[in-house]
Amino acid sequence: MRTPTPAPGLSAPDPTALRSHVHRARTAARHSRDRSTWRRAFTLNPASPSLVPALRVGVATALVLVVGGALGHTELAALAGLGAITAAFARGEPYRRRAGKTAVAGSTIIGSILLGSALTGTPMLLQIAVLSVAGGAGAWLLASLRIIGPGAVVIVFAGSAAAMTGDLPRAALATALGVAVGWLCAMAPVTRAPEHGTDEERRWIRSGLTRLASAEFLGAGARITVAALVAGLVALGVGLEHPLWASMGATAALQSITFASTVQRSIQRLVGNVTGAAVALAFIAAGLGFWPTAAAIVALQVLTELTIARNYAVATTAITPMALLMMGLSGGLTTSMALSRVADTAIGVIVGVVIAAMTIHPDDTQHLARA
C-alpha cells in the first residue's frame, strides 16, 4: 500500500519530535510529584521585606475603604479597593517608568471591572469564557511590557467580583477612583518626574510593543486562556459555587516563567488557600462589621506585600482571607464561600500544572534538572 502524501503546504508529524515532547511531559509530571519539589515549596527565600512599598499599597487600600464606608457605599468600596491594588505593580521601577506601568496595570483592572459588570446576570459559562480570555490577554500585555506585580489573576478576580455586583456606571467610577488613589500612592513621595534618563525610560515602551507580537508572549497568553477556561468549566461541571475562582487558580499558576516555578507556585497557592480559608472562617465566626473588616483587609494587604517575596504560600495565607473579606463587603461572607475557595483553587492549580506539562518547552527540562 502506498504511503499517504501530506497535503501541499503541510508537513507530516515528526514521530521523533512527538516522542521527545511526550518524554518531556512525563518528566514534568514526575517532577510535580517528587518529594523534594514539595519540600522546596515551603522554604523561605532570602529576600528582605520592603516596608515602604507595602505601606503604599496599604495606605491606598485604607483610603478608598474609609471613603467608601463613610459615604455608605460599602459594596463599591470593595471595587475601589481592587483598583487601589494598582499601587502593588512596578513598585521597584524608577518613578518615570513606574508612572507608565502602573497606569497600564490600573487600566486593565478598570477594563476588567467594566467587562465583569456587563456580564452580570449572564450564564456562568459565558462569564468563564469571557474572563478567561481577559485573563490571558492581560497576562500577554503585562508580560510583554514587563509589568511586575500581582499579575493577570487580579484581572480575573476583578471581573468576577464586578459580575456579582452589577451597576456598571458606579462600579466603573469606584474602580477608577481606586486606581487613581493607587497610582498616586505608588508615585509618593515624588512631586516631579526627574528630567534625566528620558530616552532610556521610554525604551520599555518600544521594546514592550515589539514583544507584543512575539510568539512566545502570545503563546503564554493563549495558554493561560485555555487553562483558565478548562479549570472554570471543570469547577462548573462538578457544581462548585464560584467556578471563576478555579480560573483564577489556573491563571496564578501559569504566571510563572518555568515549569518548576509553576509547580512550586501551585503547591504554595493550594497550601496558602487552605490555611487562608481557615483564617477567613475565624473572621466569619467573629461576625465583624464594616470597619473591623476594612482594618483587617488593610492589615492583610500589607502582610501580603511584606511576605510575597519570601514565600508565596505565606503570602497566599493573607491573600485568601483578604479576597474573601473584600467580596464579603459587597455580598456577605459565608462558610461555604471559604470552603469553595479551597476546592476551586485545587481544580485551578491542577489544571494549570497539567497544561504546563503538556506544553512544556524543551529548555524547561534544564530547569527541572537543576531544581
Crossing angle of helices 153-165 and 243-253, in 10° steps, is 170
**0.85 cut: is pTM over it?**
yes
Query: 2 is written with which cell numbers?
Result: 502506498
Residue 212 lies in a domain: yes
Instruction: Indicate if the pLDDT at residue 3 is higher than 60.
Output: no
- Which residue range is the domain that position 174 belongs to? 49-189+205-365
pLDDT value of position 347? 96
Lowest mean per-residue pLDDT among 9-23, 192-206, 285-299, 311-325: 9-23
Instruction: Indicate if the pLDDT at residue 358 is higher than 90.
Output: no
Residue 7 lies in a domain: no
pLDDT in tens, 269-288: 999 999 999 999 999 888 88
pLDDT in tens, 11-42: 555 666 555 656 566 666 666 677 887 888 88
- Of the candidates 264, 261, 227, 265, which has an alpha carbon nearest to the alpha carbon of residue 246? 227
CB 344 within 8 A of CB 249: yes
pLDDT value of position 58? 96
Residue 21 lies in a domain: no
pLDDT value of position 45? 84
Residue 77 lies in a domain: yes
Q: How confident is the model at residue 245 (pLDDT cuts 50, 70, 90)?
A: very high
Euclidean distance between CA atoms 364 and 219, whole angstroms = 15
Residue 29 lies in a domain: no
Residue 337 lies in a domain: yes
Query: 20 is written with which cell numbers?
Result: 521527545
pLDDT value of position 366? 58
CB 241 within 8 A of CB 333: no
pLDDT in tens, 175-194: 999 999 999 999 987 655 55
CB 137 within 8 A of CB 221: yes
CA-to-CA separations, 365 to 115, 174, 223, 284, 360, in angstroms, rounded:
38, 46, 19, 44, 8
pLDDT value of position 10? 44
Over residues 341-348, mean pLDDT: 94
Instruction: Indicate if the pLDDT at residue 198 is higher than 50.
Output: yes
Instruction: Indicate if the pLDDT at residue 261 is higher than 90.
Output: no
pLDDT value of position 17? 58
Residue 254 lies in a domain: yes
**Per the structure, how many domains does the chain have?**
1
Residue 152 lies in a domain: yes
pLDDT value of position 7? 44
